Amino acid sequence: MRAVYILWLRQLKRFSRSRSRMIGSLGQPLLFLLALGFGFGPTFARAGGGNYVAFIAPGIISMGILFTAVFSGIEIIWDRQFGFLKETLVAPVSRIGIVLGRALGGATVAMLQGVIVFIVCVFAGFRVEWSVVLPLAAVFMFLIALLFTAIGTSIGSVMQDMQGFPLVMNFLVLPLFFFSNALFPVQGLPKPLQVVVHLNPLTYGIDGLRGALTSSHGFVFGLSRDLVVLGALTAILLAIGSYLFSKIEL
Amino acid sequence: MNEMPQMIDVRDLVKNFGDFCAVDRISFTVPRGKIFGFLGPNGAGKTTTIKMLTTVLHPTSGAIRVDGHDPVREQRQVRRSFGIVFQDPSLDDELTALENMNLHGVLYGVGSHDRKAGIEELLKLVELWDRRNDFVKRYSGGMKRRLEIARALLHKPKILFLDEPTIGLDPQTRNHIWSYIQQMSSRQNVTVFFTTHYMEEADRVADDVAVIDHGKIVAQGSPAALKENTKAKTLEDAFIALTGHTIREEEGSVKDRMRRMARVWGRR
């Protein structure tokens, strides 16, 4: 559909133009990769975990995607406050078309950000192994991106202004990241933490991405379970996001 | 079937928000090709009325026909029939003028050939063609308003809604904007429905006006007729005679403050 395409293109243009944002959002993943990756590396290896940088790189890539995706979704608030949203809402196109265009655009942007983090990881010493399955990695990156753009879209549709943003950051985005398998393996965790990590959708995305990018540590839950959980949740959240977006009043 | 003689036909329109009655049984018609001014102070119900005419708010009761279509049941047809310039800007600052125009054209399903030709013609008309590749964030307030007017006309609407089109602009720019609007409305035979605070503008450009206060229409007719009926020299005096008070000055809205704050913080 034309509305989907043009709104997708808009997100891409905005992304490619905001270099400072692109570089700025690289800072955090880079910090985690360098400080944790190399700081905990020796301990992790001594404990028999293997190469820690290889372990957390997929987690760090997912982090880059997660942050950018949630923010892309929440950008609806800016568009509402600065008026552009009105232009799309009075156009003779369906709300579904608008929300899909936005979500796909946001997801594409988040995935591109993930690719950039991936390249940075490679430069920082993330050795890509021969077993690498890039297309599968791309599928997981895109699903993570779409899932969290949909969550951001849902939040952006109901939140009235950016004052709630720290709340979203501290009580949703950061917990999603820390209570996942991004920084540590799921095996042998204390019971309550294990439950929380298993309930976190990001865990399945990282598990799949890790399986696609490295020969060790990944696919703890199995490829098909990762795909099904992530795919189903993405579909559900897109539906919720579309519904909430359709309820926005001018 | 006969073509509807009226471009906009509103009968006994009511909008309640809870206990508050924002629009209280108003009726008016706007003939095809005319410039119609909707005058009233802040909170009188002007924007609420525009929202109902433009499909984004559903009336509590009453009937609306825009180009013969019902904005509630025939949303798509109504949306295709009008262009709108909102009171607050609705451009994407991070895109160029050309990209904003193009995005609008695609959203409204204007074919690529018509889009290209239309964009060039309209941008030349509002004298922005030379700056078409500039980012909108580099534009002044007046330029943005001109771009929005050009954009609203790209899909060849039959009606142009303008909500306070000249607010916040200096007098010279205001005159400019009106001359564009008048030119374009006569060139494309567009019906114009506008709201304003500036009585002398309404007096100068409107064929007909309606005065709304506290949700009710207190008078309507040509500016000359209103002045004659109230024995007033200017429309401003007529307004005072009709409503018992002056049109209040615009206060900075929450959004304006947000925007200023955002500018200070360097976003957009």
Mutate which: A90, A94, A109, A247, vs B, most B CBs within 10 A: A90
Closest in B86, B90, B109 to A2, CB measured: B109
In which element (H, E) is residue B238 found?
Answer: helix B235-243
Closest to A4 measured CA to CA, from A81, A105, A74: A105
When divided into structural domains, chain A yields a total of: 1
Residue A131: predicted pLDDT: 63
Residue A207: predicted pLDDT: 96
Query: Considering only CB atoms, which chain A residues are within 8 Å of B134?
Result: none
The parts of chain A modelled with pLDDT lower than 50 are none
Shortest CA gap B252–chain A (Å): 15
Mutate which: B103, B108, B255, vs A, most A CBs within 10 A: B103
A14 reaches B (C-beta below 8 A): yes
The average pLDDT across B228-245 equals 85
Contact assignment for A10 to B88 by CB distance below 8 Å: no
Shortest CA gap B268–chain A (Å): 9
CA angle B93, B105, B184 (to 5 degrees): 90
> Which pTM was predicted?
0.89
Shortest CA gap A80–chain B (Å): 9
B95 reaches A (C-beta below 8 A): yes
The tokens describing A196, both together, are 């929380």
Indicate whether B112 pLDDT > 90.
yes
Closest in B57, B86, B262 to A86, CB measured: B86
From chain B residues 13-32, the ones with a CB under 8 A of any chain A CB are: none
DSSP B168-213: T--HHHHHHHHHHHHHHHHHHT-EEEEEES-HHHHHHH-SEEEEEE
Strands B208-213 and B216-221: antiparallel
Q: Answer yes or no: is B9 within a domain.
A: no
A12 reaches B (C-beta below 8 A): no
Contact assignment for A250 to B56 by CB distance below 8 Å: yes
Q: Exposed, middle or buried, B171 (CB in 10 Å: 0-12/13-18/19+)?
A: exposed
B63 reaches A (C-beta below 8 A): no
Q: Answer yes or no: is B203 within a domain.
A: yes
The Cβ of residue B232 has, within 10 Å, a number of other Cβ atoms equal to 16
Domain of B145 in residue numbering reads as 32-55+68-264
From chain A residues 67-86, the ones with a CB under 8 A of any chain B CB are: 78, 81-86
Q: Answer yes or no: is B221 within a domain.
A: yes
Specify the amino acid at residue B140: S
Residue B262: predicted pLDDT: 62
What is the tens place of the pLDDT at every residue in B53-65?
999 999 999 999 9
Closest to A133 measured CA to CA, from A47, A209, A217: A209
Q: Answer yes or no: is B10 within a domain.
A: no
Q: Least CA distance to A16: which residue of chain B?
A: B94
CA angle A95, A101, A104 (to 5 degrees): 135
Q: Residue holding tokens 């450009």?
A: B205
Alpha carbons within 13 angstroms on the beta-carbon side of residue B216 total: 4
Identify whether the C-beta of residue A200 lies closer than 8 Å to the C-beta of residue A172: no
Q: How confident is the model at residue B267 (pLDDT cuts 50, 70, 90)?
A: very low
When divided into structural domains, chain B yields a total of: 1
A250 reaches B (C-beta below 8 A): yes
**CATH number of the domain enclosing B196:** 3.40.50.300
Residue A58: predicted pLDDT: 96
From chain A residues 80-139, the ones with a CB under 8 A of any chain B CB are: 81-93
The CA distance from B171 to A240, in Å, is 48
Domain of A81 in residue numbering reads as 2-246
The average pLDDT across B75-94 equals 94
The CA distance from A154 to A152, in Å, is 5
Closest to B119 measured CA to CA, from B135, B104, B140: B104
Indicate whether B1 pLDDT > 60.
no
B91 reaches A (C-beta below 8 A): yes
Shortest CA gap B146–chain A (Å): 15
The average pLDDT across B8-34 equals 94
Q: Answer yes or no: is B214 within a domain.
A: yes
B103 reaches A (C-beta below 8 A): yes
Residue B177: predicted pLDDT: 87
According to DSSP, residue A171 is labeled: I
Contact assignment for B106 to A81 by CB distance below 8 Å: no
Q: Least CA distance to A4: which residue of chain B?
A: B107
Contact assignment for A18 to B94 by CB distance below 8 Å: yes
Contact assignment for B88 to A83 by CB distance below 8 Å: yes
Residue B251: predicted pLDDT: 47
Contact assignment for B56 to A90 by CB distance below 8 Å: yes
Q: Exposed, middle or buried, A166 (CB in 10 Å: 0-12/13-18/19+)?
A: exposed
Q: Least CA distance to B161: which residue of chain A?
A: A90
| Alpha-helix residue ranges (DSSP H) falling in chain A | 2-17, 19-31, 38-39, 41-46, 52-74, 76-81, 84-89, 95-123, 134-158, 165-168, 174-178, 191-199, 201-213, 223-246
What is the tens place of the pLDDT at every residue in B172-215?
888 888 998 898 888 888 999 999 878 888 999 999 999 999 99
Contact assignment for B79 to A90 by CB distance below 8 Å: yes
Q: Least CA distance to A89: which residue of chain B?
A: B56
Q: How confident is the model at residue B266 (pLDDT cuts 50, 70, 90)?
A: low
What is the tens place of the pLDDT at every residue in B242-257?
887 776 544 455 565 5
Residue B264: predicted pLDDT: 56
Q: Answer yes or no: is B117 within a domain.
A: yes
Identify whether the C-beta of residue A76 lies closer than 8 Å to the C-beta of residue A85: yes
Closest in A81, A85, A88 to B107, CB measured: A88
